[in-house]
Chains A and B, each alone.
Chain A
């Protein structure tokens, strides 16, 4: 688990986990912005790896994300076949939809 805390900056974590059905997922929690997106992104890319089937990213514990977080997710998504976004907040859902990215960052219904 990567825990990144900059001086008064955003506090966020990326960790691998399994969901209730036993399937592997990536959980992102806390906040993502310009102060920690690069470091968290390196952890995310390490966890999702490259190629293979779809990856599920669970945002249930994500408190805040701006376009720095979107860029981080897009970099990870470019390395694998597809990324499913689970439990986005309404504002994260709105960001993904209004920037035309729902075809890349698939929102689970």
Chain B
């Protein structure tokens, strides 16, 4: 126990402050207000691997390490699509995952956002379209944001998530859910 405490104490807080003059940061700051204004709670993300090589999964894992401090931004990953506001989808969509992807999408309550991750999610990547691959995610479900990269870094993935949220108010104003929590327009 003493060793654990010593290790925690010796490292202190490793989470990195958001960079000061970064375009990405501005989205993130405004974003937190918007999440609160719109949803009144944390943003919940559900990840779906629809055929990835698992490279993008490694970077999504990394996004959850203490340096990125996702929880501190009010964002967390959840176990069920029924708890999610945003779907993070990787891979070219393999034909065998098509039904599972559609069902997961349908199980996610409206309003929902979709972020396609990686070159494969954005374009089908090297795998393209074939007897076994449907190619890009947007061939199967509507995609709000596409983050290229092979794999994209955690910072890029985070930027994608934040960008998706930044443009979501217009899309969400007419929905029941937004009205129900007293949302009346994007904060400026």
Q: Do A and B make up one complex?
A: no
List residues of A whose CB falls within 8 A of some B CB. none
Q: Which B residues fall within an 8 A CB radius of A?
A: none
